[in-house]
Amino acid sequence: MDVFVNDRASCEGFEGCGRIEITYKFPDGTQGPTHPRPNARFKGITRKAYLPNNRRGQEICEMLKVAFERKLVFTIGNSRTTGAEGVITWNDIHHKTDQKPNTQFGYPDHTYLDRVTAELKI
């Protein structure tokens, strides 16, 4: 998990504070004993997510770091979008992954920061 603060960009609805850009990178690997198919290969992925660089966004970023270290952000399973089996998938902690405004996975979303905070507190 790499975190970069981009002062030249923002999240729609949070203009003027910059944007936190989170990059998750996983190389190709082999499933471990706690995964669905131990010893089976999986393809690596890179995913990016965005938060406003304000107090709430910074707090959520720190919470995401803890969740990532505890292996709660991703899992190996079946993709809900493609149906592929044995792939790295999100593990029910929602992220905003689209830089474009007014999309399902982008901003503005005035309840997102509250929702993700609640997900991370569980």
- CATH number (domain holding residue 90): 3.30.390.130
Residue 6 pLDDT: 97
Residues 28-57: tens digit of each pLDDT: 999 999 888 899 999 999 999 999 999 999
Burial class (CB in 10 A: 0-12, 13-18, 19+), 108: exposed
Residue 84 pLDDT: 85
**Whether the predicted pLDDT of 83 surpasses 90:** no
Residue 80 pLDDT: 82
Whether pTM exceeds 0.85: yes
Which long-range contacts link 76-84 to residues 24+ away (Cβ below 8 Å)? 76/31, 76/35, 76/36, 76/42, 77/36
Domain range for 12: 2-121
Average model confidence (pLDDT) across the chain: 94
The proportion of the chain whose per-residue pLDDT surpasses 90, expressed as a percent, equals 80
Domain count, the chain: 1
